[in-house]
Structure 1
Amino acid sequence: MSLYPELDEAALAQVVEALRTGDTARLAPARAAEVAEARKAATFLDGVGVPVGDGVELDAALWLHNGDGRHPLIVMPSPWAKQGWTVYAVQALRFARRGYHVLAYTTRGFGESGGEVEVAGEADIADGIKALSYLIAQAGGPDAIGKVGFLGDSYGSGISQLVAAEDPRVHAVVALSTWGDLGEAFYENDTRHIAAVQTLLGAAKTARLSARTQQAFDDVLANRNVEETLRWAATRSPYHRVGKLNEREVPVLFAQAWHETLFPGNQTLKMFNALSGPKRLLLSIGDHSGPEMTGILGLPNRIWQDAHRWFDRHLLEADDGAAPETAAAFDADSGAEDQVVSEIMWSRALETRPTWDAATGNPERFYLTGPAEGAKDGGLLDKPGNGWRTTFTTGTDTPATVADAILLTGYAELAGLPKAYRTGRIDRTLAGVWTTAPLPSRHQLRGVPRLRVTVAPSAAESTFVAYLFDVNAFGIGRIITHAPYTVLDGAPDAPATVDLALQATGYDVPAGHRLMLVLDSVDPFYGPAAETPGTLAITSPDEDPSYLELPLS
């Protein structure tokens, strides 16, 4: 298992070899020209061992710009991948050509680096700080350098935010496919993200996990020591250090996929909204690291283009200390000053908005009702229809699932092939289903849909997953968003009111399609609270009707 299933390792290895030797014969002409220019602009060194203490060295590569004057610095901690720093080879050489000194390193416990994997723990933060000190020394010392940026994809993005919180030398951050609150990513609404943890373990098969790291992952999978794991996750969560970033108003650029399955988007959105300094959030079709993958391979990519512009704006300085002319792309007319850029499903249109609030639609309620006469499904209507009760059996999966496969379904989405759901095959004895009438006009969902529903599970602990689908006239659905929820320590068959935030979305539902809400009890992506089958009743009390609230623009 790899978090980068589309990564062409051989192509990256050829780039590194060409940087090392100058022999570009095996590269495509455009890439060969890039490498030749980078070798003129900067001195490249790989196989660098960065000492970080206790006899541990980090495998790294250096690009030291050859030009006169003070140059800004970029440090790039590697993703959760055996390929280590080489994932950044193409983008690092582009930064070097642009005038930066660059250090890309493989995080501890992976690849050729020493130490053990601590999942962005204190050792990883200390490593990032020492890697920066090493780069400063190689670049000529504090008086010879400009401003400092940290950039990471996936694992490296979390480390980058944490280092920036702790080291005042860091002036800006780029965090791609990142997390804000690791505890929420592992235990969303008290529901274990077992597929995410299994994927992380699979991707780290050749890494050296510390005993504490292995215990944390094992505990999530075994559903034990939850509070202990949440404390462990809190120290590894940028959200819990956001005050330190805000004290210095560190500029942070985020990139996230709408259908992110490793680090669900709402916890990153929480981090984004908590920041008070300059910030930008790029939201894209796909799953973890997919939207930025073409840039890793050296192909045109708007996310990496924004990353370069972000650092140019916040790190490059003219001789008089003012922002350079290269930052001119960030002007009001271009939308580059806006904090939020959303790629809309499935039109791929890009919408820019000045803030998250401005990007969010107005809430409109669709009330859950009982089935009309002769119908199997309940309705989603503009007025409450109470007095009904829908009960389904728990413990068996249905065709309503998050995705066919973690990461891979997202790559299909990027290729214009979102998963098709045959909604008629969802067994209504195993799920609750509510649908609208065909929509008279296009509905633009922008923001976080919210579900308020009264549930009465037969067990003291019970899990359900809520899915929102866009369904055409033939009953073929596309998933818009979803979220899991687990009821803990409840009295069997006692009603409980649940407020559930589904993952944020940017989605256009065509006129004539229906919206469909499905609740079922099993999804391979999540760990159930109880293994024994039972029932889950959904009701809508007169005094507190159940409804789905959609942010519509």
Structure 2
Amino acid sequence: MEGRRLAAEGYVAVTYTVRGFWLSGGEVDVAGAKDVADISTVTDWTLAHTPADPGRLGMMGLSLGAGLTLMGAAFEPRLKAVAAMSGWGDLTDSLDGADTRHLQAAAGLTAIRLPAGRPGPPLRNAVSDLFADRDIPGLRAWARTRSPSTYADRINAHGTAVLLQNAWGDSIFNSSQITAFYQRLTVPKRLVMRPGDHATQEAGSLFGLPGPAWSTALGWFDHHLKGAPDDTGLPVRLTVLRSGRQEQYAHWRDISTRTRRLPLAEPRTVTGGLDSGADAGTIEVSGLLDQVTGVPPLAEIPLLPATAAAVWQSPVYATTQHIRGIPRLHTTVTSSAPDGTAIAYLYDVNPLGLGALVTHAPRTWSHRPPGHPFPLDLALYATAYDLPAGHRLAVVIDTQDPLYASASPLGSTVTFTSRPGSPSELDVPLR
């Protein structure tokens, strides 16, 4: 559908079936060397069989296609502009970020081969190893070679103009990995972040429905390939969660100007391996509901069981708190088991105690002497969220979430506390 729209706008539009899918030959490669070679082969075919201008070539894609598009920017210097929607910059971080296996993200990677994909042994082995917690170094190496961030220097050397469009709630490719990749680029670039989940902002356009993501991509091509005037906006463009505000910044670092420190003064001890009810939601479903209804995953904060959830709350804020960027948690952990996982959640709590999820992230540790305290730092996923006046923030930490594999044994104990000179606290970036 979008190929037809490009053609109607005067572009020579070439689409191809990715290796390993439907009637295409080979096996699913997930942006590996064979997929990258295919991009150059399609480029060669296009120049040989169509009137395409070799000086004005672009590539765009969604999800797996976005990953291929960014790898194309790294390995095909003839591409002058690319547009990647719901893609990844760092596949390693998406599957095993913070030393935590992202099980539902891996399930999403598995699902890309359905209904007509033929995965090759490398993909089958990588996914099997992740689910089985086997040969994780090998999994990371496999993912690293398929990560555009690994080749950011090549993209910068080519000078390819890069458009990145992703969702705050992407449950497969988290928001922080794409914002980190964006910051490594020195080429003409734009970052657009909107509410939603993986590919939910773009999916309607595949069926002919209007949507901003594809229109933005077309405008990017018009400017960089046709020479049309730019829209003069700033490169970092955010749709803020809850308020719907549209904001623009010259640099990602400009989105926050100060930090509010939330002390987690009182120690808390939880039982490992229990799901407290504070969860980050379900892959694809929760982010889509947030996009359509404005309702993120919810939790009744006063009802969370103290045996499973460590909870701290801020005072009520008299004014709106404009949260922008990556909240960072620091605490001291004492665990009865050598391995464990902590999942930290930041909630917007209304006067009735109902918490709406702002952001979250996991962190796993291993080979720690039982009973010996150690520092734990955890960066929550990037967000832009307006906390209404009259609400408060809540920090919740537990050890189990359906999105992730937990290393905390059932029945273990985990204590979060402060130490002299190392207070337990959450730094919240604000505009």
TM bin (shorter chain):
over 0.9
- Cα displacement string for residues 152-180 of structure 1 (whole angstroms, at most 9, x for unaligned residues): 10001111111221111111110100111
Aligned residue-pair number? 429
Which residue number in structure 2 is paired with residue 310 of structure 1?
220
Of residues 491, 502, 507 in structure 1, which corresponds to 2:380? 502
Deviation for aligned residue 1:298: 2.4
Of residues 103, 109, 113 in structure 2, which corresponds to 1:204? 113
Deviation for aligned residue 1:145: 4.4
Query: Does residue 1:365 correspond to 2:242, yes or no?
Result: no
CA contact (8 A) 1:361 1:445 kept: no
CA contact (8 A) 1:295 1:301 kept: yes
Give me the whole-angstrom Cα distance separating, in 1, the residues matched to 2:193 and 2:259. 20
Give me the whole-angstrom Cα distance separating, in 2, the residues matched to 1:145 and 1:232. 33
CA contact (8 A) 2:339 2:368 kept: yes
Which residue number in structure 2 is paired with residue 121 of structure 1?
32
Which residue number in structure 2 is paired with residue 339 of structure 1?
235
Q: Which runs of no fewer than 5 residues in structure 2 stay unpaired?
A: none
Of residues 408, 415, 422 in structure 2, which corresponds to 1:537? 415
Which residue number in structure 2 is paired with residue 177 of structure 1?
86
Query: Does residue 1:98 correspond to 2:9, yes or no?
Result: yes
Which residue number in structure 2 is paired with residue 26 of structure 1?
none
Which residue number in structure 1 is paired with residue 144 of structure 2?
234
Query: Does residue 1:450 correspond to 2:361, yes or no?
Result: no
Which residue number in structure 1 is paired with residue 41 of structure 2?
130
Deviation for aligned residue 1:420: 2.9
Of residues 101, 105, 130 in structure 2, which corresponds to 1:192? 101
Deviation for aligned residue 1:434: 0.3
Q: Secondary structure at the match of 2:69?
A: helix
Which residue number in structure 2 is paired with residue 67 of structure 1?
none
CA contact (8 A) 2:274 2:410 kept: no
Deviation for aligned residue 1:407: 0.3
Of residues 398, 401, 406 in structure 1, which corresponds to 2:283? 406
Q: Secondary structure at the match of 2:66?
A: helix
Q: Secondary structure at the match of 2:377?
A: strand
Query: Does residue 1:466 correspond to 2:347, yes or no?
Result: no
Q: Secondary structure at the match of 1:304?
A: helix
AA aligned opposite 1:415? V
AA aligned opposite 1:470? D
AA aligned opposite 1:128? I
- Cα displacement string for residues 263-297 of structure 1 (whole angstroms, at most 9, x for unaligned residues): 11111111100000111111011110111223333
- Cα displacement string for residues 80-123 of structure 1 (whole angstroms, at most 9, x for unaligned residues): xxxxxxxxxx2111111111111111211112211101111100
Of residues 320, 326, 330 in structure 1, which corresponds to 2:231? 330
Give me the whole-angstrom Cα distance separating, in 2, the residues matched to 1:209 and 1:540. 48
Give me the whole-angstrom Cα distance separating, in 2, the residues matched to 1:423 and 1:361. 29
Deviation for aligned residue 1:533: 2.7
Give me the whole-angstrom Cα distance separating, in 2, the residues matched to 1:470 and 1:361. 21
Give me the whole-angstrom Cα distance separating, in 2, the residues matched to 1:166 and 1:199. 26
With 426-435 and 132-141 compared, the bigger mean Cα shift is at 132-141
Give me the whole-angstrom Cα distance separating, in 1, the residues matched to 2:405 and 2:372. 23
Deviation for aligned residue 1:535: 0.7
Identical columns (%): 36
Q: Secondary structure at the match of 2:264?
A: strand
Which residue number in structure 1 is paired with residue 182 of structure 2?
272
Which residue number in structure 2 is paired with residue 380 of structure 1?
none
Of residues 313, 316, 320 in structure 2, which corresponds to 1:435? 313
Q: How do 1:2-81 and structure 2 match up within 5 A?
A: none
Which residue number in structure 1 is paired with residue 206 of structure 2?
296
CA contact (8 A) 2:168 2:383 kept: yes
AA aligned opposite 1:127? D
Deviation for aligned residue 1:309: 0.9
CA contact (8 A) 2:12 2:51 kept: no
Deviation for aligned residue 1:425: 2.7
Change (3 A) 1:166 1:202: closer
- Cα displacement string for residues 6-25 of structure 1 (whole angstroms, at most 9, x for unaligned residues): xxxxxxxxxxxxxxxxxxxx
Give me the whole-angstrom Cα distance separating, in 2, the residues matched to 1:463 and 1:392. 12
Structure having the higher Rg: 1
Q: Which structure's relative contact order is higher, taking Cα pairs within 8 Å and 6+ residues apart?
A: 2
Which residue number in structure 1 is paired with residue 406 of structure 2?
528
Give me the whole-angstrom Cα distance separating, in 1, the residues matched to 2:147 and 2:54. 30
Q: How do 1:471-490 and structure 2 match up within 5 A?
A: 471-490=349-368
TM-score (norm 1): 0.76
